[in-house]
Amino acid sequence: MALNQDKVGETYPSYTYEVTRAKIHEYAVALGESDPRYLSDGDDCVAPPTFAACFTVIPGGAALFADPDLGTHPALVHGSQRYVYGDRALRPGDHLDCTPRIADISIRGSNEMLTVEVECRFQDTGELAVTSEGVIVFLGSAPQTEEGAA
- The domain ranges of the chain are 7-20+52-138
SS3 state at 112: strand
CA-CA distance, 86 to 50, in Å (whole number)?
14
What fold, for 7-20+52-138? Thiol Ester Dehydrase; Chain A (3.10.129)
Q: What percent of the chain has pLDDT over 90?
A: 85
What Rg do the C-alpha atoms of the chain give, in angstroms?
A: 18
- Tell me phi and psi for residue 109, to 5 degrees: 65, -125
In this structure, is the dihedral angle defined by the CA atoms of residues 20, 26, 32 and 36, taken in order, positive or negative? Answer: positive
pLDDT tens readout for residues 20-63? 999 999 999 999 999 999 999 999 999 998 999 999 988 888 88
Q: Specify the pLDDT at position 127.
A: 98
Q: What angle do CA 37, 86, 113 make, to 5 degrees?
A: 105
Strands in 111-122's sheet, in edge-to-edge order, are 15-18, 95-108, 111-122, 128-138, 76-85
pTM over 0.75? The answer is yes
SS3 state at 45: coil
